[in-house]
Structure 1
Amino acid sequence: MKRQARKLVRNCSFLFVALNLAAVAAEPAAPRLYEMSTETGMPHMEENLRYAVAKERRCMSTHDLSSAFWMLRDVSLQDCKLVKASQEADAATYLLECSGGHGTTGDARWELAPERITGTLRVRLGGKNMTFYQRITARPVGDCG
């Protein structure tokens, strides 16, 4: 009987911890001010046009991850959006969904850590053999003001 009771307590404890971790992962983090560096790479371009880096400070929460990549606001991707595919405590993945029927595909993956978040968007433009990526590295520098 004691053995069954211990097993029940252990299973309940495991379930409690798992439910708490799932709840924490599902809650959006409070917005924070980030120092962001965005690298855009286009391997098909000439060497001097292949990479571009932009720096900015932006207030952001985990709720904003699907819209953090500025390239998604470009006219060529205006009918595309990132849709969350999975969420874990330390990572989130998204699939690129486009409604224009042009065959553009892609995905994004975010690595979430207290000292830094890093996201990479990969896109293959439909009908062309063109790919590009954007990589955001963001360090928290304070609270939003």
Structure 2
Amino acid sequence: MQDGTFSSLGHLQETRRGNAYARDCPTRQLLDLIGDKWSVLILLLLGEEEVRFSRLKQRIDGISQKMLSQTLKSLERDGLVTRHAVATVPVTVSYRITPLGRELLGALQMMIDWAETRMPYVADAQREFDRRLSIADHREAL
């Protein structure tokens, strides 16, 4: 196997050039698609059912209308969701996950499951780290 490659489901894919991930690396491209704060949450909701824009806004705590719109456009451009508009007054717009998006959601499920079960341990580790840092800072101040 060539340096900088790995076998995935029987296919060789270039993932790295040297020690840095290349701009066109599939892993980096995937992280660009889902690495923001909102994409996975939107895909999760659309994985349940087709959802209207206003309902997505209500269900995702903290997302602005502008950010929701931008993220949906990006997911649509990437082929992960489709937009469906009905000519009503005002226009009714809903979104649904595509087969490609559902496939990605399936691949993400292991990470989602990990987050659901392991984030309390991460929070514990953060508190312990902060406690140790606070003690060290206190000692330095003396």
TM range (shorter): under 0.3
When you count helix as a share of all residues, which structure comes out higher?
Answer: 2
Q: Whose RCO is larger (CA < 8 A, sep 6+)?
A: 1
TM-score by length of 2: 0.22
When you count strand as a share of all residues, which structure comes out higher?
Answer: 1
